Amino acid sequence: MTSVDAKSKKQKTKVDKFNDIENPKLPFREKLAYGFGDLGNGLMFDMGQIYLLKFFTDILGISAFYGGLVFLVSKIFDAFVDTGVGTYVDSRQNIGPKGKFRPFILYGTVPLALLTVLTFISPNLEYTGKVIWAFATYMAFNMAYSVVNIPYGSLSASMTLNSDDRTQLSVFRNLGSQAAMFISGIVVIPLVSAFPNHAVGYPVVVAGLATVGVILHIICYKGVKERHVVKRSNQKGLGKKAFLNLLKNEAFAALAIYTLLTIMAMFLKQSAQLYYFEYVMGKSNLVGVVSALNFAVLLPALFLTTYLSKWFGKKNTAMIGVSGFIIFEALNYFLFGDNYITFLIVNTISAFFLVIPNTVTWAFIADVVEYGQWKSGIRSEGIIYSSYSFTRKVSQALAGFIPGLSLTMIGYQPNVQQTADTIHGLKILFFAIPAVASLIALIIFFIGYPLTDKKHKKIVKELALRDEL
């Protein structure tokens, strides 16, 4: 190839990048395939987040405190695993035809499915053995989940540079995530209850859902394309430099704190809802109704998110959603949470607003990748996403530990009538704590997150001109 041809090809590549920045171009089938990836993730991950604490206390037979401690230790351990996976993904030099991120989804899905089932097996052991079993299986599950989820989350930044496309990828990802939550919430309890022995029912039902998750991961692997993969230089100490630069990335810092608080609030509600429905509302199967109603508002909320993002930008859209969630959680705590009908109405509106920030969150992290690259000259999708995932895991750890600790503090005893103080404590845990955490997150995000859609587009164009994309 002559120097003229090389220059012409380079110029064409630059024009293609500018077109990608300006014009959405991802086909519907690719966005759908990407969403299927998080549906597959959720059919395994949600089992633990929604049902495992209750499985630990009521089936395996360990205390709520130890059950919560399993979540705390396992999630913090996994947060460090995330950074290791992210560093490894970023440092790969021999990137084959399968891509930089996609192979992890393909080869990690079956081990993840097997470990998902293992967490819901209750062996006949002494009490100490059961506690060790709970720790070992859940920590192994979280390691396997990191191997699949970190590359999956990093993938979107390589698929497109266009802001609207990234918002759409977030929409489809959240659609997959919410669909998994709906399926998990509506089918697990009835199917497990069909078995005379719940110790058998849980692993059988979880195995069925995990198998579907494997199929969805394979569809995701086959259906998406990596277009903007930047191979990192093999320069010594570059990984350490990328981590140090991350500490100077104020957009990442604000997003991380915001995520820590909002995700903790969301998962706190998930962990507490089974106890609240059974002992406060007197309806242990209410999780199915709530899941169905939450899913019913999903598509309208996603539709609204798309338009709000175009009108006001992603940052303002997220703040609108968090504000609505806070208002309606407060209404349920002070006025409507004790009545079956009014609770369902207000809770459904709250869930509607919660869809909005959860949808645009994934577009934020892709934008932060370019912001960090613009500031430091190093593109580190894996390190940034894994560090972001570290924050999410810490929030999940707190969301798993706080209910276990709180249940112990408020005097919860499984399978008996609860005292008035315990009932009130469940109400605080289910409504008040998530609302307060979200309010703090809202204030921090408003003040500290510097990226608007307009500023991000300007940054990406500058990176293209610098030939760094």
For 368, residues 6+ apart whose C-beta sits below 8 A from its C-beta are 249, 251, 252, 255, 384, 388, 451
pLDDT for position 4: 44
Residue 115 tokens read as: 């470990």
pLDDT for position 92: 76
- The residue ranges of DSSP E strands in 334-383, in sequence order, are none
pLDDT beyond 80 at 455:
yes
Residue closest to 313 by CA, chosen among 167, 458, 440: 167
pLDDT for position 76: 83
pLDDT for position 379: 77
HSE-CB for 159 with a 13 A CA cutoff: 31
Rounded to whole angstroms, how far apart are CA atoms 217 and 180? 13
| 375 band by pLDDT with thresholds 50, 70 and 90 | confident
Average pLDDT, the chain: 86
pLDDT for position 72: 83
Q: DSSP character for 182?
A: H
> With respect to CATH, is domain 23-465 assigned 1.20.1250.20?
yes
Neighbours of 303 (CB within 10 A): 11
Rounded to whole angstroms, how far apart are CA atoms 396 and 286? 23
Residue closest to 275 by CA, chosen among 288, 286, 264: 286
Neighbours of 341 (CB within 10 A): 8
Rounded to whole angstroms, how far apart are CA atoms 188 and 50? 10
457 or 242, higher pLDDT: 457
To the nearest 10 degrees (0 to 180), the angle between helices 238-247 and 64-91 is 120
DSSP states along 332-370: IIIIITTSHHHHHHHHHHHHHHHHHHHHHHHHHHHHHHH
pLDDT beyond 90 at 258:
yes
pLDDT beyond 80 at 23:
no
Residue closest to 465 by CA, chosen among 7, 157, 13: 13
Residue with tokens 């709180």: 406
pLDDT for position 428: 94
pLDDT for position 15: 54
pLDDT beyond 60 at 40:
yes
Rounded to whole angstroms, how far apart are CA atoms 85 and 164? 28
Rounded to whole angstroms, how far apart are CA atoms 461 and 438? 34
Residue closest to 48 by CA, chosen among 71, 65, 64: 71
Residue with tokens 């409507």: 336
**Cβ atoms 6, 173 nearer than 8 A:** no
**Cβ atoms 131, 66 nearer than 8 A:** yes
Residue 327 tokens read as: 């208002």
Q: DSSP character for 52?
A: I
Percent of the chain past pLDDT 70, that is, above it, reads 91
**Looking at 163-177, 241-255, 444-458, which range is the least confident one?**
241-255
Long-range contacts of residues 10-19, Cβ cutoff 8 Å, at least 24 apart: 10/467, 14/464, 14/465, 14/467, 17/161, 17/228, 17/464, 17/469, 18/461, 18/464
pLDDT tens per residue, range 215-244 = 999 999 999 999 877 665 555 556 667 667
**Cβ atoms 138, 52 nearer than 8 A:** yes
pLDDT tens per residue, range 52-104 = 888 998 899 999 889 889 988 888 888 889 888 888 887 777 787 888 899 99
Residue type, 158: S
Rounded to whole angstroms, how far apart are CA atoms 74 and 141? 9
278-297: average pLDDT: 86
**Looking at 7-21, 149-163, 223-237, which range is the least confident one?**
7-21
416-445: average pLDDT: 94
Q: DSSP character for 276?
A: H
pLDDT beyond 80 at 122:
yes
| 115 band by pLDDT with thresholds 50, 70 and 90 | very high
pLDDT beyond 50 at 12:
no
Go through 242-271 and write b for each residue having 16 or more CB atoms within 10 A of its CB, e for each that does not.
bbebbeebebbbbbbbbbbbbbbbbbbbbb
247 or 317, higher pLDDT: 317
For 174, residues 6+ apart whose C-beta sits below 8 A from its C-beta are 38, 302, 355, 358, 359, 362
407-436: average pLDDT: 90
Go through 401-432 and write b for each residue having 16 or more CB atoms within 10 A of its CB, e for each that does not.
bbbbbbbeebebeeeeebeeebeebbbebbbb
Most confident option among 13-27, 89-103, 118-132: 118-132
Rounded to whole angstroms, how far apart are CA atoms 72 and 267? 13
pLDDT beyond 70 at 294:
yes
pLDDT for position 161: 82
| 439 band by pLDDT with thresholds 50, 70 and 90 | very high
